[in-house]
Structure formats: C-alpha cells, structure tokens
A and B are shown apart, each in its own frame.
Chain A
Amino acid sequence: MKNLNWVIVPFLLLAMQSGAKAQPAKAASVADAQAVQWASSCMTCHGTDGKVQGVGVQIDTTSAAGIQARLLSFKAGSLPSTIMGQLMKGYSEDEIKRIALQLAQSK
C-alpha cells in the first residue's frame, strides 16, 4: 500500500489531456440527468446498460417509442406481468417517456 496517495504529476497530465476533450461525463452530461437516475433503477434486474445476464428479461432498446409503449401496457395492465405492472403504476406517463428515451440510448 505504498501508492495510496496519487502522485500529482501524472494526475495533472491526465487532467490536462482529458480536459482538452469536450464534456467529461457520459451520463452526467446528458440533458435529462433526472431520467438517467430513474433509468439506472431498471438495471438492477435488467443488467447494466440493459445487457441482461442469464435467463433475465432483455430490454429491447432499439426504439424509445417501443420501450415506452411496452411500459405503458404494463402500467395499464394490458400486458401481463408479475412485477412490471406493479412497478409501472408508480410512474407517470411523462416519467415513463423520459425513462424510455434513456433506455434507448443504452449501448
């Protein structure tokens, strides 16, 4: 544990190199930071960035409109589910739209 404190020179160089680029944070710099947090909630069950592991349910991230329609169907109860209907009842239609836009940006 010799290098617990970072050495200042490489730290400074790294900062200068990266500082020359545009916006630093991928997620924190997007416009709807609140929806970033909301969408991060989904990843607990559906995998970070929507990349589900094992037998879990894969979010189809090809279109925001598609995700939105599916989530609204869960909310309405027209799409049967064990959990998603119960959860979507806790979100407004606008919140669902903004979450869908975020999930569609997952890479």
Chain B
Amino acid sequence: MSLSRRTLLQASLGAALTAAPYITYAQGSQHIVIIGGGMAGATAAKYLKRFNPQLKVTLIEPNSALVMGALSNRVIHGSLTMSSISQNYDALVSKHQIKLINAYATEIDPEKRVVRMGKESIVYDRLIVAPGLDFNYEGIPGLTTPQAQALVPHAWTAGPQTAQLRSMLKEMRQGGVMAIHIPKAPYRCPPGPYERACLVADYLKNFNPKGKVIVYDSNPSIQAKKELFEAAWKSEFAGIVEYVPNAEIERVDAATGMLELQLHGKQKVDVLNVIPPQRAGSIAQRTGLANVANRWCGVDFLTYESTQIKNIHVLGDSIASAPGMPKSGHMANQEAKVCAAAIAALSLGQPVQVNPIMTNTCYSFFSASKSAHVAAVFRYDATKKVMAPTAGAGGLSAAPTVAEGVYAMSWATNIMYDTLG
C-alpha cells in the first residue's frame, strides 16, 4: 500500500468511524510481500496469517512446487522420487488466503516500497526477502561458464540438478569414482555433503560394488555429526568412502572430470559433484542487503528486519547466521515464525517479544532405512543480540537406527505440512 493510499484509508476510516482503534486496525491490515516460497518464505506466509488474519500476504515464487532439500540426497540414492519430495502451494492459497504470484522477483525499490517482476510490480508495507542461496563460482577456474556448470551439478538446491546427479550416478561405469567437493563453511546444511557420501556409498555397495566415492572437503574436518560419519565410513562403507580434508580446489576441467586440488594433486573422476561457495540470494545482494562480509544479510534476531534497510526482513539461508546456527530448513521454519510473530505484533501496535526460543532438529540418512539426528535449542542473548545455543541442551544420536529413520520421515512429512499445509 502506498503512503498516499494508507493516508487515504486512515482518513476514510477516521471520518466514518471516528475512533482511534480503527486506525490501529487499518495498520493491522498491512500488505506483507514475501519474495521466495522455500521453507522460510512459505512458513512466514502461513504464520503471518495465523498471527494476524487481517494482514494481506502475497508470496512471489517462480516455481510451482517446493522441492525439499532435506530429503534430496535420498533421490540421488534412488530410494525416493522427485515427486515424493515436492509439494505445491495450493493449501497456502486455498486454506490460508495467501495471494500467490507465480513470477520471479527482479528488483526491489526500498524507497518506493515496490517489488518488480519484470514489467509487473507490487507495493508493500513490509517485505520479507527469502530467496535462498546464490552459488559463487568466481573462485573455481574451469567452472565459471554455464556450459561447464551444466556438466558438474552441485545438486545443492533440490530440483533438476538432483535428478541430474541421480542419473549420472546410476549411469556411472562399474568400478567408477564419484567425487563430492565441499566448500568452506558456512554453507547450507552442514551435514548434507557427508550424508550424500553415505547414501552414494550405500548405492554403490548394492549396485556398483567396485565403485568409490571421494569426499574432498575444503574444511579441516567434518562439519557436523563427525563421530557418526567417521564410524560409518570405517565400518559399513570401509573401502568405499575416502575422506580428504583441507582439499581446496585449484581448478576443474568439467569436460574430462579432472579435479585439481591445491594440496592434493589431480584426480580424474567419472562423476564430479562440486558444491560451490554460497552467498545470499542474488536479489538480496543486488538490493544491498548483504552487509555482512559482502556475502550474508545482517538481521535483528528479534524481528529478522534487515540491519541495512528498514521494512525489509530477511529469512532463511541468506541471513548472517549467529555462530552455531546452521543454515537448515528446520531453522528457516523456526526463524520464519519469530519473524511472523514480530511483524504481526508491529502491525497491531503490540510490543515485539524479546525472548524468542527456537530449536533445530536435523536428521541424516545413512541408508534407505537408518538415520541419526543432531538437535539444539537456541535462545536470544540480549547482550550479544544474537541467537545462541543453550548450554546443556541438544545432542547427537548414539548411532544411526531404523527407528530414527522412521522419525526422520515423520519429521519431513510434518515440516512440509507446517510450512505448506
């Protein structure tokens, strides 16, 4: 709503009803626009309407379905299909009265409070930017062109590349080698690459017994669930998974599958999966929201409002996470609720709550049936103004189990329901 329109609306209401509460009510019916219908944006849309049904909520999303990143390694493994990890936006529209615009947001004008989608545009009172990640190939010689990138899928946003990597693994020659390259932290889903190594190894064990998967990690050690992955690679995947730490890329020859590493020489592989370094989604970068290390978006952890631009909130993988807070779908869902509660409170002239608490639960599969979790509780640290892990809470599974495999699928079903259902 433009300023003039809001003024007009308030004036009309004031004239018609002559009571201050109705002015508050007009504020309560603000227009919130959300860019991006991933876990963060879709959850925010749904919970904004739950926390203040008078809000007008518009979600701008170019894809027809949300494809779940959390289960996408199991599509590469061959134990789930793309359709089983995808869900459309129908319930958000029909059940929660969200206006869905199937378009790609191209530009934000913070002065005029306008989001442009090519030639179309929409005016907001508050904007939530939840565009996910942008992949940065600038530091990887040999992978800077779209042609080269097409031969080396990252499959780190669930979608067509997930299906592509599945096909490449399935078609790999008997006795072939797949390499997974991991960027320096922070990146989306800390345990994800190691889970991928386990599931690829499990596939190889059954269908390509002489095949091998090498994990080249830019980091000095495994970034999450370390003990569990190490144990699996020493036992059931011994001789199948090779782990190489401190393995930064020198260059890539996409056509021949040659990976050249800074400290570990050259390795020619049959299937190359390079997960590039990541940064805030491109629209966040272009709008000037990425004010932390020129890479991530700084936010106020009570409202998720940008520390750079007023009336714009940022959610999900694009934010500069507090130390210890992973970039995960579960975190995105949790952050979105805090943000939605804050925006609802502001729209109603109520105080923003100052003691948010959120949880993270993250399952990794080690086969089609076995899974293990890591869990944590985060609460607001008013001194440091960040979300901080709560001492004494959280923890790791002792070992992957079939029972937790069932719980992991229940988690997946319910987070999708809580986000889109």
Contact = CB atoms under 8 A, between A and B. Distances in A.
Given A11-B9, A82-B403, A89-B392, A47 B417 contact: yes
Most B C-beta atoms less than 10 A away, residue of A41, A53, A55: A41
A1 B117 CA distance: 10
B341 A28 contact: yes
Given A82-B397, A82-B403, A54 B52 contact: no
B31 A6 contact: yes
Interface string A75-107: 000000011001111110001000000000000
B135 interface: no
Nearest to B21: A19
B344 to A, nearest CB: 5
Given A4-B122, A56-B410, A45 B415 contact: yes
Interface string B380-402: 00000000001011110100000
Interface in B319-365: 330, 333-334, 337-338, 341, 344-345, 348, 350, 353-359, 361
B54 interface: yes
A14 B9 CA distance: 12
Interface residues of B, number: 72
A54 B28 contact: no
Contacts of A86: 375, 393-395
Nearest to B101: A1
Interface in B71-101: 101
A64 interface: no
Contacts of B47: 40
Interface string B14-52: 001100011001101101000000000000001100111
Interface residues of A, number: 46
Most B C-beta atoms less than 10 A away, residue of A18, A34, A53, A86: A86
Given A86-B375, A89-B392, A28 B52 contact: yes
B120 A8 contact: no
Interface of A: 1, 4-6, 8, 11-12, 14-16, 18-19, 24-29, 33-34, 36-38, 40-41, 43-48, 52-57, 82-83, 86-91, 95
Interface of B: 1, 5, 8-9, 12-13, 16-17, 21-22, 25-26, 28-29, 31, 46-47, 50-54, 56, 101, 103, 117, 120-123, 330, 333-334, 337-338, 341, 344-345, 348, 350, 353-359, 361, 373, 375-377, 379, 390, 392-395, 397, 403-404, 406-407, 409-411, 413-415, 417-418, 421
